[in-house]
Structure 1
Amino acid sequence: MKKPLIIVIIILVVLLALPVINLLRWTFQTKKPLDIFIVDKTVSSFEREKHKSLNWILASDRFVKKENKTSYSYKKDYYGFFPTRPKKAKTWDRREYRLANVIEIADSIDAIYFTDTYGVFFNDWYQGINKSRRSRKLYGGLNNTDNFLIKEMKDRDKLIIMEYNSFDYPTSEYDSYRIQERLGIVYRGWTGKYFTTLDTLSEDFPIWMTAMYRKQFKKPWTFTKPGVVLLRDRSIIVLEEGIHLNALPVEIVTDSAYCAKYNLPETIAFNEWFDIIDPLSNNVISNFRIGTTTIGDSLLINYGLDNLFPAVIQEPDMQRTYYFSGDFTSANVPVWASKFKGVDKLKGIIYSKKPDDFRRFFWLYYKPLVNGIFDDYYNSLTEK
C-alpha cells in the first residue's frame, strides 16, 4: 500500500475515532446530582431557545437530576409555557407551581434559574398578524408565587439566578418592586438592544419603534446604519454607528479578578436585549459598556444615563443570588453537541476570531460563567 494512502487512512480513522472518544469521555464523566428548578415563560417555538443553552451547559458539565441521575431535558424539565403538537394547531399548555407548594419546593430543590419571564403574546404565537409593540398576553410575567419562591430560596441560602426582563412589562409594578427589593437593586426602567441595521426593510426589524420615534420627535425614522436603541415606557433613544457609536457598540467588560475566577474574557461583544439597573450594594461581576462617541455621551446624559452599567451582579453576603441584566440564554446551540467532551475547543468552527462574531458570547462568556457559578455552588454543598 502506498504511503500517501496509508496517511489518508490514518487521518480518517483519527477523525472518526475522536467523536467516539469524546462521547465516551463525557459518558464516564462524574455526574453531579443537583435539583435545579428552571422557569421559562417565553417559549414561543418548539426550539425553546430561551433556556436550551442553559440545558446544554448543565448536560455538558454532567449536572443531573437527583432522583434518576439523568440529564435535564430542554423539552420537558422546566416550568412555564409549553407549545403542543401539532404545530399548525397553535395549541399550548403550561406547567406551573402553586402558592401552596412553595415551601415544599424550596425545601426540596437546590437551585432555581429564571431564564425568561417575559411570556408569550398573541403576536409571538400567531406570527404575521400584527406588528405592534405589545399585544394581548397569553402567558407570562413574574407573579406573586414566583416572588414568594424567590424569598423562600433566599431564606434557605440556595442558588438563585435571574435574567433580563424580570422587572418590566408584563410583570406588575408591585411584583417588580418586591423582586427588586429582594435582590437589592433598582431597575432604571430602560431596556435596549444593538441592531446590526436600523433599516426598516431589514428582516425582523421591530417596526413599532419607528412609530414611537415619530411620536416623540415629530419626524420620520431615517436610520439605516447599525445602532443601539434604548426604550423606556413611551421614550426612545437611538444611537447610530458613526455618529453616536464607535466600532464595537455594546460590550461586556469584566474585572480582572472575576476574569480569573470564572475564566472570562476582559471584553466580549453582546447583541441581545438588556436592561439598566442600579446595583446598590451588590457585587458587580461584569458591566455593559456602550461604545459611545462624545455626541453619544451627551445624548445619554440628557436622559440621566451612562454608557457603563451592570451586566451581572451578585448578592454580596452569601453570594448565591445573581441577576444577569441581559438575555444571556438566547443562544442557538445544538443540544447533541453537549454530549461530546471538549467540543468547546473547536475554535474556528463553532466561532471565529472576529470580535463582532456574536457566537463568541456563549462559548467564551456565558458558558464559563454559568459553569463556574454552578460548580462553586455544587462544591460548597458537597463539602458540607
Structure 2
Amino acid sequence: MKKRTRNILIIAALILLLPLWMWIGWLCTPKKKMVIAIVDKTEVSRNGQEHISLTWVLNQERYTKTSKKPYHITNDYFGFFPLHGDNFRLKGLERFTPRQLDQLSNDAKAVYFTDTYGVFSNEWYTRKNVTERSGIVYGGMSKEDISLLQQMKDKHKLIITEFNTIGSPTSPEIRAQFENMFKTKWTGWIGRYFESLDTVVNKELPHWLINNYLNQHSNKWPFKKGGVAFVSEHDEIVILEADTHLKEALPHIITGKKGQETYSLPETMKYAFWFDVMQPDTTVNEVIAHFKIDANEEGLKLLQEKNLPAMFPAVTQHIDKDYKFYYFSADFCDNPVSMGSSYFKGVSLFRFLFYNTSDPMERKSFFWNYYRPMMTTILDDLYRRGN
C-alpha cells in the first residue's frame, strides 16, 4: 500500500509540474524572426479579438517581429486602435507614402488582412443598439491597402485575406481591383448561422436583418428554430430554417484530400459564424475546402431563386512562382481563444480540454482543429523557404 501511495504521489507531482515543463519548453524554443504586416480595421476593444488567432500562432511558434521582440496583440497591426473612453487612434496604411509602402513590402515576408469591415458609431460612441446599422467611423479597404497588396504580389510575397476584406463598406472600385488582382469575385452575399431565429429568444439577431426580411415578406417572420441567414449587398434576405429548409442546421467546412494531407485538417468541421460566398477563377486558383449548406428540397429552391449555391469555397489558394495567395471565406481569425495558452509548448496535445463540441455555437474547436494547424503549416513553410 505504501508503494502504491508513493507511486500515486509521484504521478500527481509530475502532472502538477507538467505546465511548468511545457512553459520552459516554450521558453527554450528558438525565436524566429518573420515580419508580417497585419491589417485589422475592426478592433473595438483592446484584446485584439479580430486578429487574436494569428497572434496566438505567431507566439506559440516563437515568430518575432525583430530578432528579439515578439508580436504584441494590442500594438502590432495596422488599423483602428481603441484608447480610453471614446478616444481612438488610426494607424492604418492610409498614412503611408508610396515610398513607405514600398519599404514595407520589402521588409515584410507576408501580409494578412484579418478584417476591413471597420468600426461604426453605434458600437463605438454609444455602445448600444449594436444590432442596428449606423454611420461608419473607420473602415473599408483603401487605395493604400490595394497598393501594398499589389507590391507584395509583384515581389512574390505571401498574401492572406479573409472575410470581410472586400465586402461592405469597401468601395466597388477598390473591390474590383482586388478581384482582378487575385482572380476571385465576391458574389455580393454573406451569411451566418444563428442558433435561434426566434426574435423573442435571440436578442442578438440584427435588427436590420429582421426589418429587411419583414419588408420583403409581407411583414411575416415565421422562424422559431435555428438556421442560416444569407444577406446580399442590396439587403436581400434569404433564411433557411432547421427542418423546414435544412437537414443539418449548422454549416460545415468540407476539406478535400489535399487540404487534409497538406495542412493536417479534418475532413469536416462545423462553422457557426460569418462567411461570404466567393467565386474564384479555378483556372488560376484552387479551392481546397468548401462550405456545405445541407439544404433539403425546399431549401435548395430558395437558394436557386437567388442563384446561391449549397456548396461554395471556404479556403482558396494560389501557390505558384508568381505569387502566394490565400482567401479564407469566413472570420477565420476571430475566435474566442486566450493568448495565455500560447506560452506552453505542446499545448495542442491537450486541445480537447479547451472546448465543448456539444455546444453548436462554440468556435474554439474551429481554432484548435482547423485554423491553428493550417496557419502553423503555412507559416512554417514560409519560414523554411525563406520567402
TM-score, normalised to structure 1's length?
0.94
Q: 1:142 aligns to what SS in structure 2?
A: coil
Describe how 1:176-255 pairs up with structure 2 within 5 A: 176-201=175-200, 202-232=202-232, 233-255=234-256
- Following superposition, the deviation at residue 115 of structure 1 comes to 0.6
297, 300, 311: which one aligns with 1:297: 300
Q: 1:126 aligns to what SS in structure 2?
A: helix
Q: Is the 8 A contact 2:226 2:241 kept in 1?
A: yes
Q: 1:209 aligns to what SS in structure 2?
A: helix
Describe how 1:258-269 pairs up with structure 2 within 5 A: 258-269=259-270
Q: Identify the range of structure 1 (187-196 vs 160-169) with the bigger mean alpha-carbon deviation.
A: 160-169
Q: Distance in 2 between matches of 1:108 and 1:368?
A: 26
Describe how 1:76-225 pairs up with structure 2 within 5 A: 76-85=75-84, 89-97=85-93, 98-100=96-98, 101-131=100-130, 133-201=132-200, 202-225=202-225
2:289 corresponding residue in structure 1: 286
Q: Aligned partner of 1:194: which letter?
A: Y
Q: Distance in 2 between matches of 1:4 and 1:129?
A: 60
- Following superposition, the deviation at residue 353 of structure 1 comes to 5.3
Structure 2: runs of 5+ lacking an equivalent: none
Relative to 1, partners in 2 of residues 1:219 and 1:248: Cα closer, same or farther, differing over 3 Å? closer
Q: Is the 8 A contact 1:210 1:220 kept in 2?
A: no
Q: Aligned partner of 1:272: which letter?
A: F
Relative to 1, partners in 2 of residues 1:351 and 1:130: Cα closer, same or farther, differing over 3 Å? closer
Q: Distance in 1 between matches of 2:212 and 2:206?
A: 11
Relative to 1, partners in 2 of residues 1:164 and 1:340: Cα closer, same or farther, differing over 3 Å? same
1:340 corresponding residue in structure 2: 344
Q: Distance in 1 between matches of 2:19 and 2:4?
A: 24
Q: Aligned partner of 2:288: which letter?
A: I
Q: Distance in 2 between matches of 1:355 and 1:197?
A: 13
Q: Aligned partner of 1:340: which letter?
A: F
Structure 1: runs of 5+ lacking an equivalent: none
2:56 corresponding residue in structure 1: 56
Q: 1:124 aligns to what SS in structure 2?
A: helix
Q: How many residues align?
A: 378
- Following superposition, the deviation at residue 190 of structure 1 comes to 0.2
- Following superposition, the deviation at residue 8 of structure 1 comes to 4.4
2:370 corresponding residue in structure 1: 365
Q: Is the 8 A contact 2:192 2:274 kept in 1?
A: yes
Q: Is the 8 A contact 2:337 2:364 kept in 1?
A: no
Q: Is the 8 A contact 2:335 2:363 kept in 1?
A: no
Q: Distance in 1 between matches of 2:2 and 2:315?
A: 58
Q: Aligned partner of 1:222: which letter?
A: P
- Following superposition, the deviation at residue 221 of structure 1 comes to 1.7
TM-score, normalised to structure 2's length?
0.93
The percentage of aligned residue pairs carrying the same residue is 36
Q: 1:106 aligns to what SS in structure 2?
A: helix
Q: Distance in 1 between matches of 2:352 and 2:374?
A: 21
Deviation by residue 1:264-285 (Cα, 9 ceiling, x = unmatched): 0000000111111111131111
Q: Distance in 1 between matches of 2:67 and 2:319?
A: 34
Q: Aligned partner of 1:165: which letter?
A: N
Relative to 1, partners in 2 of residues 1:128 and 1:77: Cα closer, same or farther, differing over 3 Å? closer
Q: Is the 8 A contact 2:40 2:79 kept in 1?
A: yes
Deviation by residue 1:324-382 (Cα, 9 ceiling, x = unmatched): 11001111111111010111111431124549453211111111111111111111117
Q: Distance in 2 between matches of 1:93 and 1:316?
A: 36
Q: 1:291 aligns to what SS in structure 2?
A: coil
CA RMSD in angstroms, aligned pairs only: 1.8
Q: Distance in 2 between matches of 1:52 and 1:34?
A: 17
Q: 1:245 aligns to what SS in structure 2?
A: coil
Q: Aligned partner of 1:195: which letter?
A: F
Q: Distance in 1 between matches of 2:269 and 2:231?
A: 23
- Following superposition, the deviation at residue 15 of structure 1 comes to 2.1
